Amino acid sequence: MRVLRSLVPALIVAFGVAAHRRASATQAPSERVQSGGQQAVLVEHPDHVQPGLASRARWANLVNPYAGDAQRATEGAKLFVSYNCMDCHGADGSGAMGPSLQDGRWHFGGTPGDIFQSIYEGRPDGMPSWGGRIADDQIWRLVTYIQTLEKGHAVTTENFTGKTVDRGGR
C-alpha cells in the first residue's frame, strides 16, 4: 500500500509532463466541416503578422510575365477601375489622396517586382495589402498597366522635399 501511495504522485507528474509535451508539439491543421459538407482546413499561425508593413528584406528578382503585352495592360486598366485603385490614385493614375503613378517617382521602387510587392503587401500610411485578395496574375496585369501610365506624360510635380520639378519637354 505504501508503494502505491508513493507511485501515485509520480504517475500524476509523469502524465502532466506528457500532456504538456503533447499540447506544445506542432499541431496538424484542424479540419472542420462547412455548410454543404466541405471540409475547411484551418492552419494555426503562431506569429503575429501585421498586414501593410513594408518588408525589410528585398524580394527575389520578380519578372513580370506580361511585360509589354498590350492586351494584359488593357485588362489591367479594367482591373484598376474594378478594384477602385482610381479612388486613391486618380483617373489614369494621375494622383489623388494616393501618389501619382504617372510622374516616375516611386516611394518604394518602380521595378515590376517593387510594384508587385507594393500591391501585394501594401504600404504604410494608406496602401492596403491586396495579396490573397487579388490573384497574382491579376496583380501582374495591374503592374503591366501601371508601367504604361508614365509614358508620354510630362507631369510637373513637387518632389519629396517640396521643390517643384518641371518634367515638361521630355
Domain edges within the chain: 2-42, 70-165
**Which run of H or E residues covers position 82?**
helix 70-82
pLDDT band for 146, please (50, 70, 90 cuts): very high
Residue pLDDT, tens place only, 95-144: 888 888 988 888 888 999 999 999 999 998 889 999 999 999 999 999 99
- Do the Cβ atoms of 95 and 102 come closer than 8 Å? yes
Which pTM was predicted?
0.58
16-61: pLDDT as tens digits: 666 666 655 544 444 555 455 555 555 555 555 556 655 566 546 7
- Sequence-distant (6+) residues with CB within 8 A of 168 are 154, 156
User: In 3-state terms, what secondary structure has residue 76?
Assistant: helix
Virtual torsion, Cα 47, 48, 52, 53, nearest 10 deg: -80
State which fold the 70-165 domain adopts: Cytochrome Bc1 Complex; Chain D, domain 2 (1.10.760)
Name residue, grid cell 500591391: 119
Question: For residues 123 and 131, what is the distance between their CA atoms, to the nearest angstrom?
Answer: 12
